[in-house]
Structure 1
Amino acid sequence: MEKELVIVLDFGGQYNQLIARRVRECNVYCEVHPYTMPIEKIKEMNPKGIILTGGPNSVYDEKSPHYDPALFSLGIPILGICYGAQLMAWSLGGKVETAPVSEYGKTETMIDRSGRLFGNVSEKTVTWMSHTDYIAEPPEGFRVTSHTEVCPVAAMENDEKKLYAVQFHPEVTHTVEGQKILSAFVLGPCGCSGSWKMDNFVDKTILELREKVGSGKALCALSGGVDSSVAAVLMSKAIGKQLTCVFVDHGLLRKDEAESVDRVFGPDGPYDLNFVHVDAHERFYEKLKGVTEPEKKRKIIGEEFIRVFEEEAKKIGAVDYLVQGTIYPDVIESGLGKSATIKSHHNVGGLPDYVDFKEIIEPLRMLFKDEVRRAGLELGIPENLVYRQPFPGPGLGIRIIGEVTPEKVKIVQEADAIYREEIAKAGLDRKINQYFAALTNMRSVGVMGDFRTYDYAIALRAVETSDFMTAEATNIPWEVLQKVTSRIVNEVEHVNRVFYDCTSKPPGTIEFE
């Protein structure tokens, strides 16, 4: 991993996590860091390549994020994307100006195939543009390798100095041959071999965890979901019985979820784990009483989890480490460097200021969801567990809009169980990456029998995604939605209306809150 690291410097663009994702698809390890990372730190990390991301600012504005121009003299291959391309041009003496015509969306782009990154790209291709400024003149020593009808410098390079720039976004799927371009950069000028595989990660991480914990004890926050399950088995492989897995039933689980977790990880399950089941329904409901603001709910749930784990740690005695199944999208969405906080994940941005553990260990912190699943398979976890439906730590607390009450929890549990059952019957359960029912805070008039009703609306969500950073709503057959709607309205009390959420991510998130 150390030998083949590519760093993404984040200048505030919306697709930054996707860049890292695409680089990893080339089997090259990649991390996102804020643009404020000192140049000395970059030298210390000794990356094989650096990618400068897009961003909403203008480089000629003094208040915009900039970087030490010495970056471009390190001899490390650099790829600038959108704002990153303009920053490279501006820093090295080129001209960046407001474009006479802005470009946004799919754009026909002419390619000079002699460009170092474009050998496998068509001479005329489609890229995704999103800019109001443009490179009017490239710096000395650079040659233009791509243009559009209105953008004279859609790409430029100084191959001698290993500096490359593209005005468009190769990381998004709308850029038809974008992956070829990124692959050409990391496997070409960067000299990466593409040897980073999940088995390397698993073996290396087990050794690192064993060394870190030593003879100490660790407590793993086990929800039964994919991330925490993989983290638990990984830690168990590393430190064995020094690990205790604590499952907290906070009363916000799916129907029959607690029993399912007990079967898998309890004393009769396939794993030889120290397993503790804590029933904490009442304390979570009490803490959430009257709370409607989503971020506040997340933080309350996050803090209460920690307090329960602290209490259990005292019972075990001398527990130094808390283990969590945090993954990279959690970290990015909770705010990374100068990036915006989309939502605080209960195990990242939702953590209280004081945590009574020596250290929090997050072995999956730098992995995307599909990488976590591959790690799970490497660890020998059965496919039915690895590919189970993701379930957020705050549980139904963020699938209930507004105040959380036991009555509302029961409504969404029953509706969600029906939805999951019908999706499975239709053979769609392995084709849809995530699907669930949520309880909206909307009530409306309906008619059931000869009586007027005034009850809640359930929203159904189903998305297809590989990395959970972007997602598209699934086109579920109408007859399946009709069956689900009919059953929910007829079988679940206090529900008289069902909606289907067609929103992609972005602009929406996968969860409702």
Structure 2
Amino acid sequence: MPQLDATSQSTRYPAIVILDFGSQYSELIARRVRETEVFSLVMGYTTTAEELRAIAPRGIILSGGPSSVYEPGAPVCDPAIWELGIPVLGVCYGMQLMVQQLGGSVVAAGRAEYGKAPLHVDDPIDLLTNVEDGSTMWMSHGDSVERLPEGFLRLAHTDNTPEAAVADHQRRLYGVQFHPEVVHSTGGMAMLRNFVYHICGCEADWTTAAFIDEAVADVRAQVGDKRVLLALSGGVDSSTLAFLLHKAIGDQLTCMFIDQGFMRKGEPEFLVEFFDKRFHINVEYINARERFISKLDGITDPEEKRKLIGTEFIRVFEEESKRLGPFDYLAQGTLYPDVIESAGTGIDPKTGERVAVKIKSHHNVGGLPKDLQFKLVEPLRRLFKDEVRKVGRSLGLPQEIVGRHPFPGPGLAIRILGEVTSEKLNILRDADLVVREEVKEAGLYNEIWQAFAVLLPVRSVGVMGDKRTYAFPIVLRCVSSEDGMTADWSRLPYDLLEKISNRIVNEVKGVNRVVLDITSKPPGTIEWE
């Protein structure tokens, strides 16, 4: 049996399995399927037909990927998958692989196709039911299907791609050359719903209420009568986890808020008041600012920062738990994207298997020490951020918490490029507060995924009060996203940008310049480190 999730206790198997061939969109496919209230998980392309038979999903989706099916060493799936009788949808590379393995042919396209293209529907049934002719689809391919396997027929084409969507209706095998999972594909969700509901016969049972019931049962079964220590940061993830665990085990939960000195201005005081006083969830406040800052003395590498902070977190928990404990379990608000981005990338040198590309280590995934003294409780690690927000609302978290922008575990330490010092932290806190205040004042806070400031390790010349200055620049980073997996820079009004810049330069000592980051993800990441 393949391992679906390293620490999941749930017995729920995915109704839809996405086999990953190295696409950056594989996780996005899973998220789109979940939007239909059907549970899906991403698994490696080497998953065998026998392993899939044991899981018994209602449908399989083959992701896209960077390879060409005819190049040496191109990833392939178990050909016995076609004989399982389970509906399969191949996306981009997944479609080309399906065609090739079943006897068709794929060749380098005479004209590559990237970006938006109108889809001309030839067969508006099954997969393309309610998909309007002329719908925009997102293309990204250099190869095309030249000849279809026996039993397949064309469902749709574009001006440059004769076989843009194909099907073998009898065997319930479908392929699309475009990416229905991206927001640019206007008929993409209709297509995925057709596959999930009408072709695979899935039921809409991946609901917030169902998840809470399963998670509560899982936690109670895992923990029993033992005590749990929660690493509370005050963000959406750990706050939702605190409410979920309190619902499951009540006073067996102790939340420890470690003030590592990298929080935003005023947050430590707010969090203790919110959880302890308003909702009567036990919170132990630990002031460890000097300890953490000293650990980063002279450290400039972002990966080293993350690992040092993650390790120090655990050390503090271990020490403080001896004073407050004993505790058997450590709870963390790890999410599915955290696991994905920390997974590692490229080709496994031992197996030759392609795995998801490692973007960066997350402090609660890649930074855990090998001699960890706790057992982990991570009931949110199957969820995307938007799903966590829904769970939080269902559990009764107020909007002031559940609507908060994501904040990295290492905090401002990774928004200060280079060495972290107390002076730089104070500068960044004041600048960050201005950004958040003005975005909220403009009524845009709930429309933006993240809005924050970054401090660069350089200085530039300026003039203030007829005097020469030599001070730091602040980078304004505002992005729009649905799940953090992809993001685009937010087009803030010019007058708002001007107001933010003027306030920072005038109110924050040590800053004389404000610049705007207009990079999307990919190719950039949301955070700078």
TM-score when scaled to structure 1?
0.96
Q: Measure the CA separation in 2 of the matches of 1:354 and 1:511.
A: 29
Residue in structure 2 matched with residue 433 of structure 1 by the alignment: 449
Q: Which amino acid in structure 2 is aligned with residue 205 of structure 1?
A: A
Q: Which amino acid in structure 2 is aligned with residue 430 of structure 1?
A: N
Q: Which amino acid in structure 2 is aligned with residue 65 of structure 1?
A: P
Q: Measure the CA separation in 1 of the matches of 2:500 and 2:194.
A: 47
TM-superposed deviation, 1:4 = 6.1
**CA deviation string 1:28-73 (max 9, x = no partner):** 1111122133333322221111111000011122311111100111
Match among 421, 424, 430 for residue 408 of structure 1? 424
Classify the secondary structure of the residue corresponding to 1:133. strand
User: Contact conserved, 2:123 with 2:154, CA < 8 A, in 1?
Assistant: no
User: Contact conserved, 2:428 with 2:455, CA < 8 A, in 1?
Assistant: yes
Q: Structure 1 pair 336/183, CA: closer, same or farther in 2 (3 Å)?
A: farther
Match among 410, 418, 434 for residue 394 of structure 1? 410
Matched, 1:289 2:297: yes
Matched, 1:176 2:193: no
Question: Pairwise mapping of residues 51-62 of structure 1 onto structure 2 (< 5 A)?
Answer: 51-62=61-72
Q: Measure the CA separation in 1 of the matches of 2:48 and 2:249.
A: 36
Q: Measure the CA separation in 2 of the matches of 1:460 and 1:264.
A: 29
Match among 312, 315, 332 for residue 320 of structure 2? 312
Residue in structure 1 matched with residue 372 of structure 2 by the alignment: 355
Match among 385, 389, 395 for residue 401 of structure 2? 385
Q: Structure 1 pair 19/336, CA: closer, same or farther in 2 (3 Å)?
A: farther
**CA deviation string 1:102-131 (max 9, x = no partner):** 111112222123342112112222211111
Comparing 112-121 and 256-265, the one that deviates more: 112-121
Q: Structure 1 pair 421/114, CA: closer, same or farther in 2 (3 Å)?
A: closer
User: Contact conserved, 1:113 with 1:122, CA < 8 A, in 2?
Assistant: no
Match among 342, 365, 369 for residue 385 of structure 2? 369
TM-superposed deviation, 1:412 = 0.3
TM-superposed deviation, 1:336 = 6.3
Q: Measure the CA separation in 1 of the matches of 2:382 and 2:208.
A: 12
Residue in structure 1 matched with residue 350 of structure 2 by the alignment: none
Q: Which amino acid in structure 1 is aligned with residue 487 of structure 2?
A: A
TM-superposed deviation, 1:449 = 1.4
Question: Pairwise mapping of residues 51-450 of structure 1 onto structure 2 (< 5 A)?
Answer: 51-266=61-276, 268-270=277-279, 272-335=280-343, 338-357=355-374, 359-450=375-466
Q: Measure the CA separation in 2 of the matches of 1:503 and 1:308.
A: 36
Classify the secondary structure of the residue corresponding to 1:184. helix
Q: Measure the CA separation in 2 of the matches of 1:193 and 1:126.
A: 28
TM-superposed deviation, 1:429 = 2.1
Q: Measure the CA separation in 2 of the matches of 1:264 and 1:403.
A: 32
Classify the secondary structure of the residue corresponding to 1:441. coil
Match among 479, 482, 499 for residue 495 of structure 2? 479
**CA deviation string 1:445-473 (max 9, x = no partner):** 11111221111100111122221222222
Structure 2 runs not aligned, ≥5 long: 1-10, 346-354
Q: Measure the CA separation in 2 of the matches of 1:38 and 1:443.
A: 56
Matched, 1:10 2:10: no
Q: Measure the CA separation in 2 of the matches of 1:457 and 1:286.
A: 24
Q: Measure the CA separation in 2 of the matches of 1:501 and 1:484.
A: 14
Classify the secondary structure of the residue corresponding to 1:460. strand
Q: Measure the CA separation in 2 of the matches of 1:167 and 1:427.
A: 40
TM-superposed deviation, 1:317 = 3.1
**CA deviation string 1:169-224 (max 9, x = no partner):** 11111112111111110011110122321111111211111111011111111001
User: Contact conserved, 2:489 with 2:517, CA < 8 A, in 1?
Assistant: yes
Q: Structure 1 pair 422/114, CA: closer, same or farther in 2 (3 Å)?
A: closer
Q: Indicate the percent of aligned positions where both proteins have the same amino acid.
A: 52
Aligned length in residues: 510
TM-superposed deviation, 1:419 = 1.4
Match among 29, 33, 37 for residue 19 of structure 1? 29
Q: Structure 1 pair 79/494, CA: closer, same or farther in 2 (3 Å)?
A: same
**CA deviation string 1:396-445 (max 9, x = no partner):** 01111111111111110000111111222222222222211111223211
Classify the secondary structure of the residue corresponding to 2:170. helix
Q: Measure the CA separation in 2 of the matches of 1:39 and 1:62.
A: 23
Classify the secondary structure of the residue corresponding to 2:322. helix
Q: Measure the CA separation in 2 of the matches of 1:344 and 1:361.
A: 19
Classify the secondary structure of the residue corresponding to 1:161. coil
TM-superposed deviation, 1:143 = 0.9
Q: Measure the CA separation in 1 of the matches of 2:393 and 2:449.
A: 17
Q: Which amino acid in structure 1 is aligned with residue 367 of structure 2?
A: G
**CA deviation string 1:267-317 (max 9, x = no partner):** x232x3232111111121111111111111111111111111121222233
Comparing 300-309 and 408-417, the one that deviates more: 300-309
Matched, 1:508 2:524: yes
Q: Which amino acid in structure 1 is aligned with residue 448 of structure 2?
A: I
Residue in structure 1 matched with residue 52 of structure 2 by the alignment: 42
User: Contact conserved, 1:329 with 1:368, CA < 8 A, in 2?
Assistant: yes
Classify the secondary structure of the residue corresponding to 2:199. coil
Q: Structure 1 pair 336/206, CA: closer, same or farther in 2 (3 Å)?
A: farther
Q: Measure the CA separation in 1 of the matches of 2:311 and 2:122.
A: 55
**CA deviation string 1:224-265 (max 9, x = no partner):** 111001011111111111111111111000011110111112
TM-superposed deviation, 1:74 = 0.7
CA RMSD of aligned residues (A): 1.5
TM-superposed deviation, 1:3 = 6.9
User: Contact conserved, 1:112 with 1:118, CA < 8 A, in 2?
Assistant: no
Q: Measure the CA separation in 2 of the matches of 1:304 and 1:4.
A: 36
User: Contact conserved, 1:250 with 1:280, CA < 8 A, in 2?
Assistant: yes
Q: Measure the CA separation in 2 of the matches of 1:69 and 1:22.
A: 26
User: Contact conserved, 2:46 with 2:78, CA < 8 A, in 1?
Assistant: no
Q: Which amino acid in structure 2 is aligned with residue 478 of structure 1?
A: Y
Comparing 52-61 and 474-483, the one that deviates more: 474-483
